[in-house]
Amino acid sequence: MCRYILSAEIESIQKYVVTSNKMWSIKAGSYILDKFNKDVKNEFDRSKGSLIYSSAGAVKAFFNDCDAAEQFAKCIAKKLKSETEIAALNWAVSEIKNSNFASAIDEVEKMIQEKRNKKTEQVSMVNNPLFADCEICKKYPACEMADIPQKAGAILCRSCYLKQEVRKEKLGIYNKINNTLDLPDDLESLVGDDYLALICSDGNRLGEILIELSKQNKPELLSKFSESLEKATIEAFKESVEAVFRDLAGYRNFPFLVVVLGGDDMTMAMPSKYAFKFVKKFSEKFYEKTSEFTDNLPKVSVSTGIAIAKRNYPFSNLYHIAEELQKNAKKLSRYLKTIQPGDEHSTVDFEIITESLTENIGERRKTIDFGTYIVTGKPYSIGSSDYVFKFEDLIGTVDKLKEKKVSNSFINSLYEVVSKPDTAAIELKRRMKKHSQKLSETKFESFIEIKGNFEKKQSLPLLDLAEIFTLQGGK
């Protein structure tokens, strides 16, 4: 009889995976963490409990006694340390009282959250005159020497040294998609002259589903659900790649980089011109695949953040922005659930960064607040939602404008108009009249209509349209 539950997670997973902009380092970090999760599955002693899942840097399991749970946590924490040097594991153990699995899961998650809130930043020893800093991450003291791409005899910290030892390995998902292609050597080769898009997706309300399942007091149901979820995420990813990149026909290298893929998590990088269509397709496929095994459970949607910048923008900063955007998208998902309780809809938020972003997304968006309205509809819904700002309409209208050869200068000139609310309405109509024939078959007019968003702000989403239109090569 399982009497205790263990919840464990790798602390600040992105700080380990994306310590630099070097492609081989990011790829190796992803590989090491994926291998860690697989090793946890293979080495779990099922005579002592039941493993719910081990994926995307997180582990959850039931145990027969508390000592076994603590011992297992210490064992995998030690393993993580030996394989990464710097990645740390947070864990908590909670007793299952009166066979109430749901209450125990809720309690252990609160304990993990408390640990997250109390975590402190490690002080780097870089710049200490007694140490040379690592040539890759530039964060930890160098202690090893190795040959890396484009440099022989590089001095590395222990963590980056462990990464370079597996830098030629790659995640299994690549071979499942195409076993003849390899990854580009660097981000420049990945995106070329395009901007880099970092996509961060996470399933909505999975915790609620786990609690709902746990009310039946059958650990095997949780394990089965987690296995089905992981399979659905990978299948949705694979089918989305095949659809957007047309089965990779004509490609010599993979046009994307997987950072995290497992459970309900997906983080990847790709050229920005593909990002919006990929997110739409992945959101649809994720919902479709998860609906196959959630007949008597709440449906599962996904929230996504897309951070876009030039390829030399610090990857770790871009990751942080993508996560913030994803959390912002989740706010809309929760709102949609309150107004449409029986439905479940995916959401997306995005930001195109053309300069150093020091403030958070909320502060940044205050600069496009003109008092009467804001000129963005972010975040957007995906799917058959009644919400006013739909992602499908946004990217569909961009495609139509490009097809009709509407000029980039015309779209951008409208931004100057809407920045002056007092005269905007009249001036917009005047300028649009000149292009009425080209615009007539698009939904362009809906992007110059002021509507209330989920936060009850008056929003005019023209800037979103202009940004994507310009980014995707509007003329």
In angstroms, how far is CA 222 from the centroid of its own chain?
24
Task: Enumerate domains of the chain plus CATH numbers.
Answer: 1-117 (3.30.70.270), 172-358 (3.30.70.270), 362-475 (no CATH)
Label the pairing between strands 346-352 and 302-309.
Answer: parallel
Q: Give the long-range contacts of residues 456-459, CB within 8 A, separation 24 or more.
A: 457/373, 457/374, 458/372, 458/373, 458/374, 459/373, 459/374, 459/375, 459/376, 459/377, 459/389
Taking only Cα atoms into account, the Rg of the chain, rounded to an integer number of angstroms, comes to 24
Distances (CA, A) of 442 to 180, 216, 377, 403, 404: 41, 51, 18, 10, 9
Return averaged pLDDT per consecutive 10 residues of the chain, 475 residues in all: 87 85 94 94 86 92 92 95 93 89 86 80 50 89 93 95 95 93 92 95 88 79 91 96 90 94 95 96 96 84 96 92 95 90 89 74 77 90 87 94 87 78 77 76 84 91 90 70
DSSP string, 347-390: EEEEEE-SS---S-HHHHHGGGB-SS-BS---SEEESS---S-B
State residue 217 phi and psi, 5-degree precision. Answer: 55, 40
Copy the structure tokens of residue 138. 């530039």
* CA torsion, ordered 469, 472, 473, 475, to nearest 10 deg: -20
Cα separation, 475 vs 470, whole angstroms: 8
User: What angle, rounded to 10 degrees, do the helices at 158-165 and 66-84 form?
Assistant: 80
Q: Are 410 and 436 in contact (CB under 8 A)?
A: no
Q: Report helix, strand or coil for 303.
A: strand
Question: Which residue bears the tokens 């058959």?
Answer: 384
Q: What angle do CA 123, 357, 463 make, to 5 degrees?
A: 155
Copy the structure tokens of residue 439. 């615009």
Q: Are 275 and 306 in contact (CB under 8 A)?
A: yes
Q: Report helix, strand or coil for 192.
A: coil
Copy the structure tokens of residue 131. 């140490």
Query: Which helix (H) or strand (E) is 241 found in, with range?
Result: helix 219-244
Copy the structure tokens of residue 93. 């153990």
Q: Are 373 and 460 in contact (CB under 8 A)?
A: yes
Cα separation, 24 vs 185, whole angstroms: 7
Q: Are 428 and 418 in contact (CB under 8 A)?
A: yes
pTM for the structure as a whole: 0.92
Cα separation, 52 vs 68, whole angstroms: 16
Query: What is the number of other CB atoms lying within 10 angstroms of the CB of residue 53?
Result: 23
CA atoms within 13 A on the CB side of 133: 11
Cα separation, 432 vs 414, whole angstroms: 9
Copy the structure tokens of residue 99. 């066979």
| Residue 105: closest CA among 12, 2, 193 | 2
Copy the structure tokens of residue 233. 């995420």
State residue 408 phi and psi, 5-degree precision. Answer: -65, -40
What is the C-alpha end-to-end distance of the chain, expressed in Å? 66
| Residue 463: closest CA among 451, 448, 453 | 448
| Residue 26: closest CA among 319, 456, 384 | 319
Q: Are 475 and 403 in contact (CB under 8 A)?
A: no
Question: Which residue bears the tokens 């000029």?
Answer: 407
